[in-house]
Amino acid sequence: MVEADVTLSSGHTMPTLGLGVYMNEECAEACQVALQNGYRMIDGARYYENEVQVAVGVKKSGIKRENVFITSKVIHTDFTYDGTTAALKDSIANLGSSYYDLYLTHSPIGGKEARLSAYKALLDGKASGLIRSVGVSNYSAKHIEEIREAGLEMPVVNQIELHPFCQQKPIVEYCIKHNIIVQAYSPLVRGAFDNPVIQELSAKYSKDPAQILVRWSLQRGFVPLPKSSQPERIISNGQVYGWNIETADMEKLDALDRGTEGAITWNPVDAD
């Protein structure tokens, strides 16, 4: 795998492709396979209940901790200052490392006061060295503007559902304008590969449909987080460098957009 890093507004660098581990019962094994085959980023969360398995997979991979970019997220049920602080400390214990490379608020659910309390706790975690960069997930421009209006450091990342059927252009444009990297979860549309355009391009480029979708994400400037528990799929999902989808074919994929109506997952970007 050839992988260029992206520089975050915090000054740290982040890989342009990561392994998602949501609902992965073989999480440790998946992380090990991914890292031994060129991946250098693992995207986890407290809600996934597999932070310990991520740590096991990293250790078994033989890749040094400092060479792996590890993310976790605090869920909205812990969105108080003290609740988030406690969650972060527990995450650190689960990982068996002194820091996370990136830590996110998992969603905007819970209201403005709760969101800001959790975010402030993460910023304080960053100040104390437990986190290197702080971001958000499933946030709209409105939610990020709350952070700006509060005079707080802006998030380095916003992680949202992104694929050709759900391109969420308003929040993507906002993030680009404000130097916030967009991470794309569910970039593989949960295996819904039967679309004629995806099938056509898969045949044209002699690539799996999943590779076409991940490559689309990369060429759009996103950081995709494909997930799989199957070793062969994990490996092939990472074989997305050194080739490009032509402009006309990118436009065919772009034309599949149905906005948030094309969402296939829990997608709370419009939460109050």
Burial class (CB in 10 A: 0-12, 13-18, 19+), 78: buried
Nearest CA to 202 out of 165, 232, 240, 235 is that of 240
* Residue in this structure with the two tokens 């460098």, named with its chain if needed: 241
Asked if 119 is an active-site residue, the reply is: no
Contact 223, 6 (CB under 8 A): yes
Q: Identify the helix (H) or strand (E) that includes residue 237.
A: helix 231-237
Alpha carbon separation from 213 to 167, 209, 216, 247 (Å, rounded): 12, 6, 5, 14
- Which residues pair with residue 7 across a beta bridge? 13
3-state SS assignment for residue 270: coil
Catalytically annotated residue among 22, 39, 47, 48: 48
* Angle formed at CA 180 by CA 47 and CA 78, multiple of 5 degrees: 25
Contact 1, 37 (CB under 8 A): yes
* Residues in Cβ contact with 63 at an 8 Å cutoff, skipping those fewer than 6 apart: 35, 36, 40
Return left, alpha or beta for 18; rule: phi > 0 is left, psi -120 to 50 is alpha, else beta: beta
Residues labelled catalytic: 48
